[in-house]
Structure 1
Amino acid sequence: MKADIEKSYLRNVSNGRCRDTARKYLRALKAKGRKKSTREHNAKVLRDLSNYIDKPFEEADKNDLENFFADLQLAESTKNVYKGVVKTFYKWLEGNDETYPLKVRWILVRRIGRNLQSTDLLEPVEVKAMINACLNARNRAIVATLYESGLRLGEFLCLKIEDVKFKGGWASIVLPKDATNLKTGRRVITIVDSVPYLQSWIEEHPFGEDPKSPLWIPIQGGAKKSKLEISAFGRLIKKIVADAGIRKDVTPHLFRHTSATEKARKGWNEALMRQYFGWSKRSTMPSVYVHLAKADTENKVLEDAGLKEKENAKERTLAPKQCPRCELQNEATGLFCSRCGSVLGIEEATEAEKLIRIIEDEESMNRLAEILAERVMQKVGDSS
């Protein structure tokens, strides 16, 4: 812990006393059994706080902390994480790890999920836009699988190839024993719509023949047989979101919020939700998503009573497309069958005809080559 975390974060702490205090705190967190990723987050926050206040942590007052948070140029969700770290740190530093000192009692840490509005969630069209913005099979599989499964990030990144069991038109994901955030024991979840994306990625996976290989690996600058790190994954999601033209504050956990809300809208009861998402019997999380889905229930009652015009049911965002020739289940965003090359539908056929006309025109092909070259240069970081 000391070598990795201190080398990455604490070496950039300019104040010596702050650096020593941060080291002691990180060791205390390790003694409590906190995950390495949690300790890394704490180290990063303490580094930023120290360099901002430019004085020992003990000498900072409420005004210093207010200015620190006011000047943070971060998304609200990330700023909320910073608040939680700082508040807990000062409880350890000045409150004997029991009470919050006055300088941080004013800090309100938002309970993620409980303040979400339905408009904050991802819409089907946004998920498809993200998939279409991806330039490789790995990233398309990441978006599709994270959206359907609703896995915690720690669970998602710990997956190995052997944890995915394909069973015809569906698959099961067996969460591994070493999943970082496996809070309620091992469990198995079922997926359907993301299966074609997962199959495409595993077929291209540089270590696809090794069932013990991490499912999600770095591929930029040569594939590595190690799992994607949380920080790299966060940057990847932000780039995909930006490339898709989405302006929402999209974090990896928002996929879980969206997945849970959609299942609540479909009528899943609390027992099913707890089993699928890994919540304990005491967790109040199912009620959060039932609340977000409440508006849908209200609309249904009004529609049945004739007091509101019925809306068209939302499409299955990533429902696989069946090839009319060989009957293979293909990716929802695909144009052609990955097995026989047939066009997958009427809209796809129209797109195919357009492509054929472009290919037959030399001037159009030259221009297309220029556009593609420019786009690849702009999005080279998409494969990070």
Structure 2
Amino acid sequence: MNATTIATVDILRKIVDITKGLPAYTNEILKTGILPHNKANLVTICDYISSMIHEVNLSDNYRKDVIMLLARFSIFFNNTKVFKDIARADLLQFLDSYRKHESSDPKHKYVATYNLFRIHLMRFYKWLYSPNIEHKQRPKPAQVENIPQLKRKEISCYKPTDLWTQEDDALFLMYCPSSRDKCYHAMSRDSACRPHELLKLRIKDVMFKLTSDKRQYAEISVNGKTGTRSIPLINSIPYVKDWINQHPQSGNQNSILLCGFGRSLGKQLNPSAVDLIYRYYQHTYFPKLKNIPQGDKNKIAELLKKPWNPYIRRHSALTEKSGILKEHHLRQYAGWAKNSNMAQKYLQYFGNESSNNLLEAAGIITSDKQHSDLLKSKSCPNCKEPNKPDSKFCINCQMVLTYDEYSETLEKQQQRESEVQSLRAEVKALQDEQKQKAEEILCTLAQFKEQLNERDQRRLEADFRNGQ
């Protein structure tokens, strides 16, 4: 069927179908950016997405990225060309529009975007010319033949110094005002999950468990690029419990764990929303913190120089885990495919243990072992409940958790007892004073009564004498 003969209402229905569950802007760009100008391209996009859903079971994030790319691709040519009429030179012109000059992109971040769009467009054009062939067997049409992948000088867009340390996390958790955001932040360090993997979780997906010696931990099951994998939660448990207790729908186990607020109440957040939240903290909230120790202000000033986004959280966590897990375990934990080179990136580029060992041996830096417990949850000796590292009392049984707090509690108790004793002494003194005053009043009254009696007696005697 010719695209121009398809009724607008049918096209709108197709748009709703392929954008179901995606952010509203994906629907909007198709309806307002393409539909009024190029129905053919819009129908092609809808048919392609529908085909891909059935062929490879697209994830929501992948589906959104492809829709936005193809919409921009059509708009780039002012919607004047149908996709099959776009020549190889046109396609290269579109890809080249994402190249950036060294001065504006010194880390060459654009390369990742260029290569990703190249892959998406190659897959799209294979389908466009051979829709009825099995997707793995489709040949490359002329438009996408011999388009090389760009190589990047840097192994990663992040430097080792960009990664968040445990001290950075402890500082963030200390001053972050939102229990939900603290929960996400702590879970991202604890699990090293991709942002969308955490954002899909529901309350029921957090399974709290006990070891034989009554130590508590939790497990989450996440769905990633390589399928489902189980991830333990240890140090983030106090923050998870704290947020669940404050969750607007805590009684509903099917509720999204890290849900939105306001008009998005109860709805699943997308990674771009979390990115905006971190930007707010970096550019607005943390720089304006007042009435905090100067030492913390200085640390925050240094932390603000680092990247604040959901993916630096995963990078930081995986770098930490790469020093603990063997490579094959790290691949499984991170959700990487067998042929992925990501493990080598973390083991060789971000792992700087050899450099640190040399600096420690020379006495230039000290071991960071003391920092490894900064985020470790504090287990209550009485009930084994995991508590936040800075907790003074157990959230479950109110047991005192630190010696300093124990001493402070004893001191406060002694102070209260002293105040009670002082108050009792003051009350007794007041009672004695009141008793003495009462006795004086009674004595005065007795004397007055006696004087009255004597006066009355004298008057009676005088009256008696006068009567005789």
In structure 1, what is the Cα distance between the partners aligned to 2:30 and 2:276? 21
In structure 2, what is the Cα distance between the partners aligned to 1:204 and 1:131? 17
Secondary structure of 2:262's partner? coil
In structure 2, what is the Cα distance between the partners aligned to 1:298 and 1:13? 52
Partner of 1:43: 67
Partner of 1:382: none
Partner of 1:330: 387
Q: Shift in Å at residue 296 of structure 1?
A: 1.3
The verdict on how the C-alpha distance between 1:287 and 1:61 changes in structure 2, with shifts beyond 3 A counting, is closer
- Report if the CA contact (8 A) 2:216-2:386 is conserved: no
Code of the aligned partner of 2:198? F
- Report if the CA contact (8 A) 1:147-1:255 is conserved: yes
Secondary structure of 1:300's partner? helix
Within a 5 Å distance, the mapping from 1:68-79 to structure 2 comes to 68-70=98-100, 79=110
The verdict on how the C-alpha distance between 1:75 and 1:149 changes in structure 2, with shifts beyond 3 A counting, is farther
- Report if the CA contact (8 A) 2:217-2:232 is conserved: yes
Secondary structure of 1:32's partner? helix
The verdict on how the C-alpha distance between 1:132 and 1:79 changes in structure 2, with shifts beyond 3 A counting, is farther
Secondary structure of 1:175's partner? strand
Q: Deviations over 1:41-89 (max 9, x none)?
A: 1212333343344243515353454235449x99989855642443134
Match of 2:161 among 119, 129, 149: 119
Unaligned runs of 5+ in 2: 1-13, 20-25, 130-137, 288-303, 409-468
Partner of 2:366: 311
Match of 2:192 among 121, 144, 150: 150
1:320 and 2:377 matched: yes
1:220 and 2:266 matched: no
Match of 2:320 among 262, 277, 294: 262
Higher relative contact order (CA 8 A, sep 6+): 1
1:105 and 2:144 matched: no
When the two chains are superposed, the root-mean-square deviation of aligned CA atoms in Å is 4.1
Partner of 2:226: 183
Partner of 1:373: none
1:173 and 2:207 matched: no
Partner of 1:11: 31
- Report if the CA contact (8 A) 1:323-1:330 is conserved: yes
Partner of 2:92: 62
In structure 2, what is the Cα distance between the partners aligned to 1:10 and 1:343? 57
Larger Rg: 2
Secondary structure of 2:257's partner? coil
Q: Shift in Å at residue 236 of structure 1?
A: 2.9
Code of the aligned partner of 2:150? L
Code of the aligned partner of 1:171? Y
Q: Shift in Å at residue 229 of structure 1?
A: 3.2
Partner of 2:5: none
Match of 2:280 among 235, 239, 243: 239
Q: What is the percent sequence identity of the aligned residues? A: 21
Q: Shift in Å at residue 146 of structure 1?
A: 1.0
In structure 1, what is the Cα distance between the partners aligned to 2:241 and 2:153? 36
Partner of 1:22: 45
- Report if the CA contact (8 A) 1:157-1:216 is conserved: yes
Secondary structure of 2:97's partner? helix
The verdict on how the C-alpha distance between 1:94 and 1:213 changes in structure 2, with shifts beyond 3 A counting, is closer
Q: Deviations over 1:172-194 (max 9, x none)?
A: 22305xx3x26144x33222221
Q: Shift in Å at residue 104 of structure 1?
A: 8.5
Secondary structure of 2:218's partner? strand
In structure 2, what is the Cα distance between the partners aligned to 1:301 and 1:52? 53
In structure 2, what is the Cα distance between the partners aligned to 1:92 and 1:182? 18
Q: What TM-score, normalized by structure 1, do the two folds share?
A: 0.71
Secondary structure of 1:105's partner? coil
In structure 2, what is the Cα distance between the partners aligned to 1:293 and 1:68? 27
The verdict on how the C-alpha distance between 1:30 and 1:132 changes in structure 2, with shifts beyond 3 A counting, is same
Q: Shift in Å at residue 291 of structure 1?
A: 0.9
In structure 2, what is the Cα distance between the partners aligned to 1:318 and 1:108? 40
Partner of 2:240: 198
Equivalent pairs counted in the alignment come to 340
In structure 2, what is the Cα distance between the partners aligned to 1:148 and 1:287? 21
Secondary structure of 1:290's partner? helix
Q: Shift in Å at residue 343 of structure 1?
A: 9.6
Q: Deviations over 1:296-337 (max 9, x none)?
A: 13432564xx44545231513422356899986432366876
Partner of 2:135: none
1:90 and 2:110 matched: no
- Report if the CA contact (8 A) 1:128-1:333 is conserved: no
- Report if the CA contact (8 A) 1:13-1:19 is conserved: no
- Report if the CA contact (8 A) 2:391-2:401 is conserved: no
The verdict on how the C-alpha distance between 1:336 and 1:110 changes in structure 2, with shifts beyond 3 A counting, is farther
Secondary structure of 1:10's partner? helix
Range moving further from structure 2, 152-161 or 105-114: 105-114
Secondary structure of 2:352's partner? helix
Q: Shift in Å at residue 201 of structure 1?
A: 0.6
In structure 1, what is the Cα distance between the partners aligned to 2:276 and 2:125? 34
Q: Shift in Å at residue 141 of structure 1?
A: 0.3
The verdict on how the C-alpha distance between 1:275 and 1:102 changes in structure 2, with shifts beyond 3 A counting, is closer
In structure 2, what is the Cα distance between the partners aligned to 1:111 and 1:197? 39
Partner of 1:375: none
Q: Shift in Å at residue 263 of structure 1?
A: 1.7
- Report if the CA contact (8 A) 1:320-1:332 is conserved: yes
